[in-house]
Amino acid sequence: MNNGMIVKKTLFPSPNPQVDLYEITYLSAGLRVKGMLAEPKREGKYDGFLYLRGGIKGVGMVRPARIAQFASHGFIVFAPYYRGNLGGEGNEDFAGDDREDAISGVDLLNQYHRVADHRIHVFGFSRGGVMALLTGIKRKDVISVVTWGGVSDMFLTYDERKDLRRMMKRVIGGSPNKVPERYVWRTPLYELEGLAAPVLIIHGEQDKNVSVEHAYRLEKRLKELEKRVTSHYFKEFTHYFPPRKNQQIVSMLCSWMKDQETVV
């Protein structure tokens, strides 16, 4: 089974004249899953950037402009849609088996001819934060992990987001009281011993979608384990940052990623 193998690649309209966009079908644990690839038009090899979206199904779907924005900073960006979305096989299960789609995304970037050797970064937004951390724990070849407004604790998400409880019970198979082990499995806080890559945490303190408590818990646990962690908290911002600030933070995190040392 060739995880990460691209089986179809179709040119997609790009919002940035310096960036080529493609819709990709790739292999993940035996399934054909869809995603989006963005690469600078300028020739050369670049760091790989795995972009892990938030939400579920149509909510929080990958946005071409966002992927192109990161690519314009000098990255080959791959963003899985996750299984079961936009014609992909299988069913998304909220950081369950669909984590394989992220892990196979690392394989895709490693195999891609324009990605520099041993230079793969993982970025997660919102629910993608859990996916990014789980990927970093599983894949020792990842050299940095960024979580922006990211979930770190599925028990806390269930507790805080009453509007998501029905979906979570359906997709995960019950509440945390009924099936606690399924929430433990989806919560990277319990496995951070296995994370080697440095972590950058970005979070708005007014975030009502994913409370800043997720970031505090992640930072605390990483420090307890003497892992490398850098945190930026923004008192005035929610889950979504104003465009100008967004651009500044994207530039900052892209520079931080490129500064990380190659692990061979």
126 is catalytic: yes
Continuous segment of H or E residues that includes residue 37 = strand 31-40
Q: Is residue 6 within 8 Å of 24, Cβ to Cβ?
A: yes
Q: Is 226 left (phi over 0), alpha (psi -120 to 50) or beta?
A: left
Picking from 140, 93, 110, 134, the residue whose alpha carbon sits closest to that of residue 218 is 134
Q: Which two tokens stand for residue 150?
A: 């990211």
Angstrom distance (rounded) from CA 214 to CA 222 = 12
211 is catalytic: no
Per annotation, catalytic residue among 72, 175, 232, 239: 239
Angstrom distance (rounded) from CA 219 to CA 221 = 6
Per annotation, catalytic residue among 126, 144, 152, 211: 126
Q: Which two tokens stand for residue 254?
A: 């892209």
The number of beta carbons lying within 10 Å of the beta carbon of residue 134 is: 25
Give the residue numbers annotated as catalytic, written as ranges.
126, 239
